[in-house]
Amino acid sequence: MRIERPYEQLPVWKNLMDFVKMIYMVTSTFPPDEKEGLTRKLRNRSTDIPVSIASGISLRINIESKPYLQAASAALSETETLLFICMQLSIIQPSEFESFQKQILAINDELQSLIIRIEKKFN
């Protein structure tokens, strides 16, 4: 039987799991010469986001969760920058970038809201 963890109930974590799947789908279409470059970087940074959340909220949300959520937010910004580079290099289309950017903005709003709630509750 699989044990469900607290972070799995967070809407932001659920949205990130969908986001990561989309990153993997789009990077599977990247040119072969980008396998060790942008493909690897995008996959690593995008997976770092939910992993950071899981690390910070493995058992419960507390004040020690905040740095992990901030790290997740930073990784999200880095992912957005990598996607922008991909668009600039014509590896993805502007419409694909815009779609990812909408998801990123929504996820960032959720992360910032969670950080603010933690600050209010524990400070």
Res. 57: pLDDT tops 80: yes
Domain count along the chain: 1
Instruction: Give a yes or no: residue 31 inside a domain.
Output: no
Instruction: Give a yes or no: residue 34 inside a domain.
Output: no
Q: What is the CATH number of the domain that holds 99?
A: 1.20.1440.60
Instruction: Give a yes or no: residue 5 inside a domain.
Output: no
Question: What pLDDT was estimated at residue 102?
Answer: 97
Instruction: Give a yes or no: residue 6 inside a domain.
Output: no
Instruction: Give a yes or no: residue 33 inside a domain.
Output: no
Instruction: Give a yes or no: residue 2 inside a domain.
Output: no
- pLDDT tens-digit map of 65-119: 999 999 999 999 999 999 999 999 999 999 999 999 999 999 999 999 999 998 8
Instruction: Give a yes or no: residue 56 inside a domain.
Output: yes
- Domain hosting 51: range is 13-23+39-122
Q: Considering only CA atoms, which of 113, 51, 40, 57 is closest in space to residue 76? A: 51
